[in-house]
Amino acid sequence: MSIVGKKFPDLKVNAMNEMGDTIQVNVLEEAVKNKKKVLLFWYPKDFTYVCPTELHAFQEALPEFEKRNTIVIGASCDTAEVHFAWLNTPKDNGGIEGVTYNLLADSNRNLSGLLGILDSSNERYDEESGVVMMDGDNVSFRATYILDEDGVVYHEGINNMPIGRNVNEYLRIIDAIAHNQTHGEVCPANWEDGKDAMAESSKATADYLSKH
């Protein structure tokens, strides 16, 4: 079920910070108490192949997110201890050394389960034992959420495991949210910061299309 337009779940989750401390993070509180937007991105597993490319890409773009008053948080179903080990593994060895944003450790799958982003396609009912069995690892898809300063979800998206994300697209979406907040205008297809937006009316749409 989509949570776009709704407050993000009010739930604390264990996390690992850049100092190696296990902390608790409430994504909704991060937005509201800091009056910042939040980008939360989920990835399937630590110590894999596509995942470190995404974490490094978000780290490289971190100054751009900070310019946009946006907190970046990563998340998976690994434990905080596994996050710590990965954070201390050099990039050349497939690690994420140098990543400075918090990483949620949703090992009990409370938040990812609530969001409905777990790969449960291998779930089956074992008639003999009467138990629901899981053949796979029950990890999260590549899900992404963008919250505004009130903790309301403006964007959510889910990629299957093999498909990495385009970090620049999230910067564009955050720019569009900020433009709408500031000017009250809506942002048409392929809009980028600095381009024309339009008022929310059929006439404005017709005028825009006639010029483009």
CATH number, domain containing residue 80: 3.40.30.10
**Number of domains making up the chain:** 1
CA dist 57 and 167 (Å) reads: 7
Question: Residue 191 falls within a domain, yes or no?
Answer: no
Structural domain for 81, as ranges: 12-165
pLDDT digits (tens, 9 = 90+) for 66-105: 999 999 999 999 999 999 999 999 999 999 999 999 999 9
Confidence label for 190 from pLDDT (cuts 50, 70 and 90): very high
Residue 13: CB partners within 8 Å, gap ≥ 6? 24, 25, 26, 27, 75, 104, 105, 106, 110, 111
Question: Residue 62 falls within a domain, yes or no?
Answer: yes
pLDDT number for residue 104: 98
Query: Is 212's pLDDT higher than 80?
Result: no
CA dist 197 and 212 (Å) reads: 12
Residue 115: name the closest of 149, 157, 70, 148 by CA.
157
CA dist 39 and 163 (Å) reads: 18
Is 187 labeled as catalytic in the residue annotation?
no
Confidence label for 205 from pLDDT (cuts 50, 70 and 90): low
pLDDT number for residue 199: 85
CA dist 32 and 147 (Å) reads: 10
CA dist 186 and 200 (Å) reads: 6
Residue 144: name the closest of 183, 182, 117 by CA.
117
How far from 25 is each of 20, 21, 88, 111, 139, CA to CA, in Å? Answer: 14, 12, 21, 11, 20
The pLDDT of 151-173, averaged and rounded, is 97
Phi, psi of 176 (to 5 degrees): -65, -40
Helix, strand, or coil here: 27?
Answer: helix
The pLDDT of 128-151, averaged and rounded, is 86
Average pLDDT, the chain: 92
Confidence label for 129 from pLDDT (cuts 50, 70 and 90): confident
Lowest-confidence range among 89-103, 126-140, 172-186? 126-140
Question: Residue 173 falls within a domain, yes or no?
Answer: no
pLDDT number for residue 120: 77
pLDDT number for residue 137: 84
CA dist 68 and 11 (Å) reads: 25
pTM assigned to the model: 0.91
Confidence label for 136 from pLDDT (cuts 50, 70 and 90): low
pLDDT digits (tens, 9 = 90+) for 8-64: 999 999 999 988 999 999 999 999 999 999 999 999 999 999 999 999 999 999 999
**Share above pLDDT 90 across residues of the chain, in percent, rounded to a whole number:** 83
How far from 181 is each of 32, 70, 149, 154, 194, CA to CA, in Å? Answer: 16, 14, 11, 12, 15
CA dist 187 and 122 (Å) reads: 40
Catalytic residue among 13, 15, 51, 80: 51
